[in-house]
A and B are shown apart, each in its own frame.
Chain A
Amino acid sequence: MPLYRISYEKAGSARFVSHLDMISTFERSLRRAGLPVALSQGFNPHFKLFFGFPLPVGFIGLAEFIDIELIEDVSPGFLVAAFNNTLPPGFKVIGACLLKEGLPALMAQVQGSIYQLAFDDSRFSVSFETLQGYLEDMMSMEEIEIRRRKKDGKSVSFDIRPGIISLALIRNNGRRVIQMDLMTSSSLNIRPMEVIKSLELYPGLGGLSDFVEVSRCKLLAEGGQELFSFCLDPVE
């Protein structure tokens, strides 16, 4: 049955919707739209929706992805319109396509993310150049140790440096934006807040994590490929 890939924005009030609640949000949207979604087998059938890498609550997502299996072909443009008429405020579908067959699951395709973390210029006394220097300093390190809590509650030491591909500082309308290219996969997943927590250890940046607005701008597949590069036809 045809599998469609949808890209959407999650912003405004929608950014506070948790990953778990996203499933029911999309299911309800699909039911309101009356789209012919495939149901799973079993005693408690549910819609065949496949999510990408979870976006933490509160983060803005500018191009998140979800794959949906339908029982009949529809035009991707129709799918986009149907979603935009039925998703709650803050969600906006920006493109859709029919996928090639035999691809790995969306979750397994995702390998990296580009995040932007913005905060007001006036909030911290550290100059643009100094902050840039901090980021360069971090990139020059061999390893960056943080504490990670494991499922059993134990805290272990963990090196995030191998998962940091690049860090950059951008000026944007009285705000500073730290852009991070990070590994995002089941084998190595670096959270942007872990990078910020390490950055907070530099002078003048205490409490930074309470004041940054985080956006995930992009999700990338193996070798930096776009997730839309696996479509049969152009994206609508």
Chain B
Amino acid sequence: MENQNYSQLMERLMGLVEKPARYAGGEWNTVVKDWDKELTKVVFAFPDVYEVGMSHLGLQILYNTINSRPDALLERVFSPWHDMEKLMRESSLPLLSLESRKPVRNFDILGFTLQYEMSFTNILNILDLSGIPMYSKNRKKGDTLVIAGGPCAFNPEPLADFIDAFAIGEGEDVFQDILEVYKENKDKERAVMLRNLAAIPGVYVPQLYRVDYRADGSIFSFNPIDTEIPRKIKKRIIADLDQVEYPLNPIVPNMGIIHDRIMLEVMRGCTRGCRFCQAGMIYRPVREKKADTLAKQGVKLVNNTGYDEVSLVSLSSADYSQLRPLIKELLDSFEDQGVGVSLPSLRVDSFSVDLAKEVQRVRRSSLTFAPEAGTQRLRDVINKGVVQDDLLDAVSAAFNSGWHGIKLYFMIGLPTEEDADIEGIVALARLVLKNGLDQVKNKGKLKITISASSFVPKSHTPFQWEPMNTLEQIKDKQQHLKSLFKDKKISFKWHEPEVSFLEGVFARGDRRLSGVLENAWRMGCRFDGWSEYFNYEIWKKAFEISGLDPSWYAYRSYNYEDILPWDHIDSGVCKDFLIEEHRSALEATTTPDCRNDQCSVCGVCGDAGFKPIILDQGSDACASIQD
């Protein structure tokens, strides 16, 4: 079938599915380059539905980075929803890009972003719908090069057999290097291309490594196939965010998406050091952007997009040292335009609530805080620098400012958790409720929502050696909590334990899991992060067929000496620091925030000349900078 016919067929199918704008393209600020020109053609794939993928800042950043090059183009593709997939398969229509409506397999490079383990089957589905050989070893010269990056690339092993090359760390620079190497090696054998890609700092080519296992399934050795291939792959990082181009003409979707507003990134990294948080470890060190840079970018973004809301995004925006002056400057420039500023998440303190009150343009019904654990002991274990009074101050300020709803996020199944910690969640919720009853006038509207997710140990964190709670333990804890929440004003929500269980399996999995992924996909698994499509029975069968036991992965307790499946990926944070942090956790000893106090010597700064950029106190918070 000719491309023209593909496009026409797609148009017709769009008339038959729900939310066809997911596939239509043609949004404001879309870049459509001349397909017939000699360009390196890249397609960026987000392995979830459009509304989720378009809410991802990384997509907008790379869209701008690659399309700014005169010698390349970057188009987009998302996972088709079930209705569209069915129609595409019935009419043998291959997956098409949004911009040019060209088959994905006609692009030179297909790049996935890996945001969530439960989207892995969608990756296989995209490869299959595109007609690209699913396994890396089966792709040859002329086949699309399949690459992947994002946080889940920090443990790339479960996808090792499907991806030709992983980009570890921040994508802006490494993507450029990959393009250059691709251009030079385009006409060479795939094996040569892969070797040359592996020479780029931050690029991991799984085919060039060999894993040997012991009889008990643990890793005996993990080595490059020869000495030319690096033993360790060090993450890439942007030293100074003020110096990199920020996407000032982001695509503005034609349909409502999850985060439907301007995302203005104020900093990268987080200094808090919560021990369960992978993002807090892998995006170190913290690098703030200048308020002046941000204010200018904010104004341009409003003019270029027409959005009426600027969200100041980062892992913990309330920690951004220039937040107040930045917000003031932005609000002054937007006066009379009906444009507001928002914060994606609040820190647990009254400062954050006051800020939220000041900037809100549209009153949202509730405020959300994340104390994460119910007792001080357990909050110290996870190094969540929050005490009970912080939370009570915060909710007090919220009730005082007229909010009636408070949402509190907790995790259950954390290391060292006891019954007292579970009951602590309930006690805390009751304290918050009492606080509300004392202050809120319209008591009928008062509502406390408690959300408990299940702890999943992640690679590159101090808890990477820790086992997950068993499914039975988690279910017991959920039941226990449920039985304790009697008050009608408190509603209790929890996560599907089986989803968290599988997330845990893949978060710390090895490359033998590739087969399981393929089995699950073949038996129909898609969109596993969507509870209406998650099917645990199929997954159990998929493991059975592969002869692997998921609980072996999830419940596994590693020793410090063990070779971890992701040990070859270097996040810059050294293992000794993670071990120290793990030991401190077990003793419930906290490590101070390196923003305010001394350097905790995590290793990221001394290493490779990275340093934290915190604007209001110079940049000498880290003791081990080597110039």
Instruction: List residues of A whose CB falls within 8 A of some B CB.
Output: 12-14, 16-18, 20-21, 24-25, 27-32, 34, 39, 43-47, 57-58, 86-90, 210-211, 213
Which one, B14, B256, B306, contacts A21 given CB within 8 A?
A: B256
Q: Is B322 an interface residue (CB 8 A)?
A: no
| Inter-chain contact A18/B26, CB cutoff 8 Å | no
Q: Which residues of A contact B254 (CB under 8 A)?
A: 13-14, 16-17, 21, 25, 88
Residue of A whose beta carbon sits closest to that of B15: A58
Query: Does A16 contact B256, Cβ atoms closer than 8 Å?
Result: no
**B26 and A90 within 8 A (CB):** yes
Given the contacts A12-B26, A44-B361, A44-B362, A32 and B304 also touching, CB distance less than 8 Å: yes
Take A13-B254, A32-B304, A58-B15 as given contacts and tell me if A21 and B26 are in contact as well, using a CB distance cutoff of 8 Å. Answer: no
CB atoms of A16 and B24 under 8 A apart: yes
A27–B306 CB distance below 8 A: yes
A227 CA to B518 CA, complexed, in Å: 58
The one of B23, B30, B307 that contacts A28, using a Cβ cutoff of 8 Å? B307
Q: Which of A13, A20, A86, A87 contacts B24 (CB 8 A)?
A: A13
Once the chains bind, are A58 and B306 in contact (CB under 8 Å)? no
**Interface flag for B237 (CB, 8 Å):** no
- Chain A residue, CB-CB nearest to B253: A21
In the complex, whether B434 has a CB less than 8 A from a CB of chain A is: no
Given the complex, which residues of B lie within 8 Å of A21, measured CB to CB?
21, 254-256
Select B363's contact among A17, A32, A43, beta carbons within 8 Å.
Answer: A43
- Partner among B26, B303, B307, B338 whose Cβ is within 8 Å of the Cβ of A89: B26
Q: A13-B254, A16-B21, A21-B21 given as contacts; is B306 within 8 A of A88 (CB)? A: no
Known contacts A13-B24, A14-B26; is-contact A31 B306 (Cβ 8 Å): yes
Q: Which of B20, B24, B306 contacts A30 (CB 8 A)?
A: B306
* B interface residues (Cβ-Cβ under 8 A, vs A): 12, 14-16, 19-21, 23-28, 30, 252, 254-256, 260, 302-308, 337-339, 361-363
A64 to B302, CA, bound (A): 27
CB distance from B522 to the nearest CB of A (A): 30
Interface pair B28/A17, CB less than 8 Å apart = no
Bound: A34/B361 CA distance, A: 20
State the Cβ distance, A228 to closest chain B Cβ, in Å. Answer: 27
What are 6 A-B pairs at a CB distance below 8 A? A24-B260, A29-B28, A31-B306, A31-B307, A88-B27, A88-B28
A88 touches B15 (CB 8 A): no
CB <8 Å contact, B308 and A27:
yes
Could you tell me if B15 and A31 are in contact, using CB atoms closer than 8 angstroms?
no
Distance in Å: Cβ of A110 to nearest Cβ of chain B = 24
Q: Chain B at the A interface: mostly helix, strand, loop or mixed?
A: loop
Q: Are B306 and A28 in contact (CB under 8 A)?
A: yes
- B255 touches which one: A18, A27, A32 (CB < 8 A)? A18
Taking CB as reference atom, which chain A residue is nearest B302? Answer: A31
Bound complex: CA of A18 vs CA of B256, how far in Å? 10
Given A25-B254, A28-B305, A39-B338, A18 and B361 contact (CB-CB distance below 8 Å): no
Also in contact, A31 and B16, with CB within 8 A (given A13-B254, A25-B254) = no
Identify 6 new A-B residue pairs, CB closer than 8 A, beyond the known A21-B255, A47-B338. A24-B256, A31-B302, A31-B306, A31-B307, A58-B15, A88-B28
- Residues in chain B near residue A86, CB distance under 8 A: 28, 306
Shortest distance from the beta carbon of A150 to any chain B beta carbon, whole Å: 21
Instruction: For residue B271, give the distance in angstroms from its CB to the closest CB of chain A.
Output: 36
Question: Shortest Cβ distance from B584 into chain A, in angstroms?
Answer: 47
Tell me, rounded to whole Å, the shortest Cβ–Cβ distance linking B251 to chain A: 10
Residue of A with least CB distance to B303: A32
How far in angstroms is the closest Cβ of chain B from A90? 5
In the bound assembly, the distance between CA atoms of A59 and B450 in angstroms comes to 44
Closest to B101 in A: A13
Contacts of A47 in B (CB 8 A): 338
B260 partner residues in chain A, CB cutoff 8 A? 24
> How far does the Cβ of A148 sit from chain B's closest Cβ, in whole Å?
20
Asked if A45 meets B338 with Cβ closer than 8 Å, knowing A13-B24, A16-B14, A17-B254, the reply is yes
CB nearest to A14 among chain B residues: B26
A45's nearest neighbour on chain B, judged by CB, is B338
Residues of B with C-beta under 8 A to A30: 306
CB proximity of A188 to chain B, nearest CB, Å: 26
A210 to B9, CA, bound (A): 12
Q: Which residues of B contact A28 (CB under 8 A)?
A: 28, 252, 305-307
Q: How far is the CA of A13 from the CA of B23 in the complex (A)?
A: 9
CA distance A170 to B363 in the complex (A): 54
| A31 in contact with B337 given A14-B254, A16-B254, A17-B254 (CB within 8 Å) | yes
- A16 to B14: give the CA distance in the assembly, Å: 8
Most buried by A among B16, B26, B305: B26
Q: How far is B22's CA from A13's CA once the two chains are assembled, in angstroms? A: 10
Closest residue of B by beta carbon distance from A44: B362
CB-nearest residue of chain A to B339: A31
- In the complex, what's the smallest C-beta–C-beta distance from A191 to chain B, in angstroms? 15
Question: Which residues in B have their C-beta under 8 angstroms from that of A20?
Answer: 256
Given known A-B contacts A58-B20, A210-B16, A13 and B308 have beta carbons under 8 A apart: no
Contact of A17 among B30, B255, B361 (CB under 8 A): B255
- Picked from B24, B30, B305, B361, the residue with its CB within 8 Å of the CB of A32 is B305
Q: Contacts A21-B256, A211-B12 given: A32-B306 contact, CB under 8 Å?
A: yes
Q: Could you say which residues of chain B place their CB within 8 Å of the CB of A17?
A: 21, 24, 254-255
CB within 8 A of A18: which of B15, B21, B308? B21
B26 near A13 (CB under 8 angstroms)?
A: yes
A57 to B306, CA, bound (A): 23
* Residues of chain B contacted by A18 (CB below 8 angstroms): 19, 21, 255
What is the distance, in angstroms, from A12's C-beta to the closest C-beta of chain B? 6
The CA of A210 and the CA of B12, in the complex, are separated in Å by 8
* Closest A-B pairs by Cβ, 8 of them: A13-B26, A28-B306, A31-B306, A32-B306, A16-B24, A13-B24, A16-B20, A88-B28
Chain B residues with Cβ under 8 A from A34's Cβ?
Answer: 303
B14, B16, B305, B338, most chain A CB atoms within 10 A:
B338
Q: Which residues of B contact A45 (CB under 8 A)?
A: 338
How many Å lie between the Cα of A20 and that of B306 in the bound state?
Answer: 17
| Bound complex: CA A30 to CA B305 (Å) | 10
Complex CA distance for A27 and B307, rounded to whole angstroms = 8
Tell me the complex Cα distance, A34–B299, Å: 13
Contact B252 A57 (CB under 8 A): no
Considering the chains assembled together, what is the distance between the CA atoms of A43 and B61 in angstroms?
A: 34
A206 to chain B, nearest CB (A): 16
Chain B residues in 8 Å Cβ range of A27: 306, 308
The CA of A13 and the CA of B19, in the complex, are separated in Å by 13
Please, which residues of chain A bring their CB within 8 A of the CB of B19?
Answer: 18
Min Cβ gap B301→A in Å is: 11
In the assembled complex, how far is the CB of residue B410 from the closest CB belonging to chain A, in whole angstroms?
Answer: 32
Chain B residues in 8 Å Cβ range of A44 = 361-363
Q: How long is the Cα–Cα vector from A28 to B337 in the complex, in angstroms?
A: 12
A32 to B28, CA, bound (A): 11
Quick one: closest B residue to A26, CB to CB?
B306
Q: How far is the CB of B357 from chain A (nearest CB, A)?
A: 14
In angstroms, how far is the closest chain B Cβ from the Cβ of A27?
Answer: 7
**A13→B15 contact, CB < 8 A:** no
CB neighbours (8 Å) of A210 from chain B are 12, 15-16
A28 to B, closest residue via Cβ: B306
Complex Cα distance, B15 from A131, in Å, reads 24
Report A-chain residues with C-beta under 8 Å of the C-beta of B302: 31
CA distance A58 to B26 in the complex (A): 14
**Complex-state Cα separation, A45 to B21, whole angstroms:** 27
What is the distance, in angstroms, from A185's C-beta to the closest C-beta of chain B? 26
Complex Cα–Cα for A45 and B338 (A): 7
With a CB–CB cut-off of 8 A, which chain B residues contact A13? 24-26, 254
- The chain A residue sitting closest to B363, CB to CB, is A43
Chain B residue nearest in CB terms to A13? B26
